[in-house]
Structure 1
Amino acid sequence: MLGERLDAATMVVHLLGGPYVSIGARRVDVPEGSKRLLAFVALNDGRVSRRHAAGTLWPDVADLRAAGNLRSSLWRLNRHCAELVDADKATLTLREGVLVDADLVSAWADRLEAGVATGPDLAVHPSGTAALDLLPGWYDDWVLGERDRLRQRLLHALEVMSARLAEVSPGEAVSAALVAVTAEPLRESAQRALIEAHIAHGNWGEAVHQFTAYRRLLAAELGVEPHPTLTRLLLPVLVRAVR
């Protein structure tokens, strides 16, 4: 779902479904005590002050203790992950050439939304909804806002991707929309993308089935009806059914 062709030696920090590190096809697990430090640096554009990192990651201890915790965490990280983070007296920086998967998927979403996606950008990968969860199970304040922002961007990109694919490969369009619908069943724009993909594929029965299931879900969860524009997509079939 990213479109990038990465070199076998490329090091990537994975925050979606992570954190962990990959070097080509090889996965490298991050020491438990260093995961939050790596994620914090990666989410801050790969560069952060030591004081800010220590104060954010260890807010309930004295400054000297927090600085010591940071040094220990950094030592364990670089010992297991090949000098992943460069450090001087003031700053922590991801080593040059290290990529972050959250940045890669953001760039992928940018290309889709700008209408400049290439062939690899339109490939639906089997990772599915797992690729939408930034640092799952983490509830730090510095994670929550970024998780929601990135998730919304990726869901919208999947809808755009489905619309693009509907013109050339309706089956793949269905697959892309299904990822978004599975992640957020109440999201009407995702349901619309899936219904439109079914129609593009000529599967009117599947489209009606999806609409009916969504209508029931909305009624049960929110007590509302789908937007009239969604209903109008199925008018050709619904009118014949009434007749």
Structure 2
Amino acid sequence: MAAGLIGALATRAAAHAPLVKLLGGVTVVHASANWGMSIGAARLIAFLALHPGAHDRHYIAGTLWPDTPESRAAGNLRSALWRLNALPVSLVDADRCWVSLQSHVLVDVRLLSDWAARVISGDRTSDDFTHTAWDVACVDLLPGWPDDWLVLERERIRQRLLHGLECMARELIRLGRSAEAVEVALVAVNADVLRESAQRILIQAHLAEGNRSEAQRCYLEHRELIARELGVTPSDRLTALVAPADIGARRSPTDRRGRFRPSRTGQGPGPRRSRG
């Protein structure tokens, strides 16, 4: 996980505010304590965390329990609210019509999404690159949840974080922190092994470290993978990164000991001086 970064971002935003964590399971963190919750309460808090503002109770009930009769869905919502209100920390405002997450409550996904937006736009702060340890689990929001209301938001956040990781790795290369850039780029690659932009940053990070063999290995593995899975070849932009030392394709016609190897036409590199 990106626990170090999330903790730093939460402290900077509001040190004593409760934090709703959606990555790695729905939990609430406050005053060094952690609380889990029932699946109904977790689905409600996740919906409110991902959809800021107040929402009509009937709309929430119908969205979270779409295949349930209206009266039963309303009962499920009341039960979820009761369980949330039983927590030692206040998270939700609710009346007869509306339900919302309290404005002071922080959400890990929002913090990371805002962080990625700063990194992508170039408006990062001095603290945004202090914590570079990430895990691929941070990129996928609530995996296994099949809810329709979550699908688009999950993909939006996934793309935002992947772009943020790529920009972070690129900036780390520029700062001379190539080893960290490799680790960050690997998270993006592992999140989507077919994503060429992530592979490109990883190869650039290896080249920045002087590890040309690692760069070539990554390129060849990616080329083989996309040929098998997609039936395509790497872009010229990616190939150009490794082309000068590539795969023997542009190697001068010499044998392994560096001596000239005649071409099939039998012609040498130039006219030979006659003997005698």
Quickly name the TM-score band, shorter chain normalised: over 0.9
**Who is 1:182 aligned against?**
190
Q: Which residue identity is paired with 2:251? A: V
Helix, strand or coil: the match of 2:118?
Answer: helix
Residue of structure 1 in register with 2:55 after alignment: 48
Cross-structure match for 1:201:
209
Partners of 1:125 and 1:239 in 2: CA distance: 32
Does 2:41 match 1:34?
A: yes
Q: TM-score, normalised by structure 1?
A: 0.92
Could you tell me how far 1:82 is from its partner in structure 2?
2.2
Unpaired runs of 5+ residues, structure 2, are: 253-276
Compared CA separation, residues 124 and 225, structure 1 to 2 (3 A)? farther
In the other structure, the counterpart of 2:9 is 4
SS of match in other structure, 1:234: helix
* Contact 2:10-2:111 within 8 A present in 1 as well: no
Which runs of structure 1 show a deviation greater than 6 angstroms over 4 or more consecutive aligned residues? none
1:229 aligns with 2:237: yes
Gaps of 5+ in 1: none
- 1:144-155 superposed matches below 5 A: 144-155=151-162
2:116 paired residue number? 109
The answer to whether 1:88 aligns with 2:95 is yes
Residue by residue over 1:176-235, the C-alpha shift from the partner in whole angstroms, topping out at 9 and shown as x without a partner, is 111000110100000001001111111111111111111111122112211111111112
Shift in Å at residue 133 of structure 1? Answer: 1.4
Matched to 2:9, the amino acid is E
Deviations 1:137-174 (A, max 9, x none): 10110011111111011111111111100011111111
1:220 maps to what in 2?
228
- Larger gyration radius, structure 1 or structure 2: 2
Structure 1 range deviating more: 5-14 or 154-163: 5-14
Are 1:31 and 1:80, in contact at CA under 8 Å, matched by a contact in 2? Answer: no
Q: What is the aligned length?
A: 243
Distance 1:117 1:26 in 2: 30
Once the 2 structures are TM-superposed, how far is the Cα of residue 94 of structure 1 from its aligned partner? 1.3
Q: Distance in 2 between matches of 1:190 and 1:24?
A: 37
The separation in 1 between residues aligned to 2:10 and 2:72, in whole angstroms, is: 42
TM-score, normalising length from structure 2?
A: 0.82
Which shows bigger deviation, 39-48 or 68-77?
39-48
* Cα distance in 1 between the residues matched to 2:244 and 2:88: 58
Residue 31 of structure 1 and its aligned partner are, at CA, apart by 2.1
Q: For 1:135 and 1:204, how far apart are their aligned partners in 2?
A: 37
Q: CA deviation at 1:43?
A: 1.3
**Do the aligned partners of 2:169 and 2:185 also contact (CA within 8 Å) in 1?**
yes
Of 44-53 and 184-193, deviating more is 44-53
How far apart in 1 are the matches of 2:117 and 2:205? 22
Q: Write the letter of the residue equivalent to 1:242.
A: R
Q: Superposition pairs for residues 104-143 of structure 1, below 5 Å?
A: 104-143=111-150
After the TM superposition, which of the residue ranges 208-217 and 40-49 deviates more from structure 2?
40-49
User: Do 2:116 and 2:160's aligned partners in 1 also have CA atoms closer than 8 Å?
Assistant: yes
SS in 2 for 1:146: helix
Other-structure match for 2:270: none
**Residue 59 of structure 1 is aligned with which of 59, 66, 69?**
66
Cα RMSD after superposing both structures: 1.9
